[in-house]
Structure 1
Amino acid sequence: MTTHTHTLAEPRVRSALTRMFEAATRDDEAAARVRSVRPHDRGALTSQELADANREIYMPISADGGKLLYNLVRATRPVNVVEFGTSYGISTLHLAAAVRDNGSGHVITTEMNTAKAAAARDTFTATGLDDAITLLEGNALQTLAALRQPVDFLFLDGWKDLCLPVLRLLEPHLAPGTLVVADDVDLPALAPYLDHVRDTDNGYHSVTFPVEDGLEISCRL
């Protein structure tokens, strides 16, 4: 009988994901606390202030969305996976597990909030996936500007109004056939991004995958 490697089922990884998904069920309560003490209008805060105000909120990809990410990375076997928006690392673990099971590749992920970045690093170490992940702390438009290698798979799940600027920043690194995935297609702030990738004149062929708040899967033409 052949034994198949499946890092998502490894006890340390499974335990971490279970813990974080459970914590994320309290996101609405945490968000209510934020709204009670900070301006409600997104435009009233800088991206850094917004990240710091929401430091208790997990904002995770859905469980099925994570499984889809894992499958996409397993199937496409990217060398360099880039993620915009680590938060506490739920989606990052799915990406890194796929890279580990492929036997090659690396995940570069970004997080603006210092507390979330520290917690994510602790989780990556506890799951044994830290050697497959590089976490860039700070504004992604600055940290990713220094990127020199090709981007073979891109996942966008940070602030939705920054997804298009991050994509434009990284477009020179995207080869034809590269997959770009964005989470939360139902959020109005993602509309400019969706307009961009759904227009083939901009060099993408895009499809919406109906899971939770929706994933937009776009292939670079």
Structure 2
Amino acid sequence: MPVDRDAGRFLYALVRSRGGRLVVEFGTSFGISAIHIAAALRDLGEGRLITTELNASKAATARKNLADAGLAGLVEVREGDALETLADLPDAVDILFLDGWKDLALPVLKLVEPRLRPGALVIADDTDKFESVMRPYLDYVRAPGSGYVSVRVPIGDGIELSVRTP
């Protein structure tokens, strides 16, 4: 399920406002959200996107779509299980976009969490549509003392925007 136009514009705006040096995406699919993120990085004149996709044919399509958009040079597409492909991130993470299998949102967050800069944005997609599956993730980022300030954003199938507090 690709992000819709409003969610893509929201991602673009968040990346532009945050000035992310490193953006990480879990769940590339065909690269639609990656195009929005990479376009924002291009327009900022800095940063890169590391994205991961389990399905080899989807990863190949994402690479082609990014190349066709002229954005391939800003994006590293990692193919395989996100709990493995995101285990060796090279830098501190400014923005994490969670759009893969919903039951893996919390495990991926916990994997990347030590790399999140203070003030980093964590954006989870489809939180309304898959609320029951996303419940452990939502409870985690919304809990007092969690290290996040979090809010539901009524865009698309629901987005949870969380900010990593210092």
TM-score of the pair, normalised by structure 2 = 0.96
Which structure features the higher share of helix residues? 1
The structure 1 residue matched to 2:153, chosen from 190, 195, 209, is 209
**Which secondary structure does the structure 1 equivalent of 2:29 belong to?**
coil
The one-letter amino acid of 2:59's match is A
The structure 2 residue matched to 1:91, chosen from 7, 23, 33, is 33
Q: What is aligned with 1:185?
A: 127
Q: CA deviation at 1:201?
A: 1.4
Q: What is aligned with 1:35?
A: none
Question: Is 1:152 the counterpart of 2:111 in the alignment?
Answer: no
Which structure 1 residue ranges, 4+ long, deviate > 3 Å from structure 2? none
Q: CA deviation at 1:127?
A: 1.2
Structure possessing the higher relative contact order (Cα contacts under 8 Å, 6 or more residues apart): 2
Q: Percent identity?
A: 55
Q: CA deviation at 1:199?
A: 0.9
User: Using the alignment, how far apart are the partners of 2:82 and 2:53 within structure 1?
Assistant: 7
User: Using the alignment, how far apart are the partners of 1:64 and 1:84 within structure 2?
Assistant: 19
1:43-192 mapped onto 2 (5 Å cutoff): 59-186=1-128, 187=130, 188-192=132-136
User: Using the alignment, how far apart are the partners of 1:99 and 1:200 within structure 2?
Assistant: 32
Q: Over residues 177-201 of structure 1, what are the superposed CA-to-partner deviations in whole Å (9 max), with x where a residue is unaligned?
A: 1110000111121111000001131
User: Using the alignment, how far apart are the partners of 2:72 and 2:144 within structure 1?
Assistant: 37
Q: What is aligned with 1:40?
A: none
User: Using the alignment, how far apart are the partners of 1:200 and 1:180 within structure 2?
Assistant: 17
Which structure has the larger Rg over C-alpha atoms? 1
Which structure features the higher share of strand residues? 2
User: Using the alignment, how far apart are the partners of 1:122 and 1:170 within structure 2?
Assistant: 27
**Which secondary structure does the structure 1 equivalent of 2:103 belong to?**
helix
Matched residue count? 163
TM-score of the pair, normalised by structure 1 = 0.73
Q: CA RMSD in A?
A: 0.7
User: Using the alignment, how far apart are the partners of 2:55 and 2:127 within structure 1?
Assistant: 23
**Which secondary structure does the structure 1 equivalent of 2:86 belong to?**
helix
The structure 1 residue matched to 2:144, chosen from 179, 200, 203, is 200
The one-letter amino acid of 1:200's match is P
Q: What is aligned with 2:163?
A: 219
The one-letter amino acid of 2:44's match is N
Structure 1 residue runs of 5 or longer lacking an equivalent are: 1-58
The one-letter amino acid of 1:90's match is I
Structure 2 residue runs of 5 or longer lacking an equivalent are: none
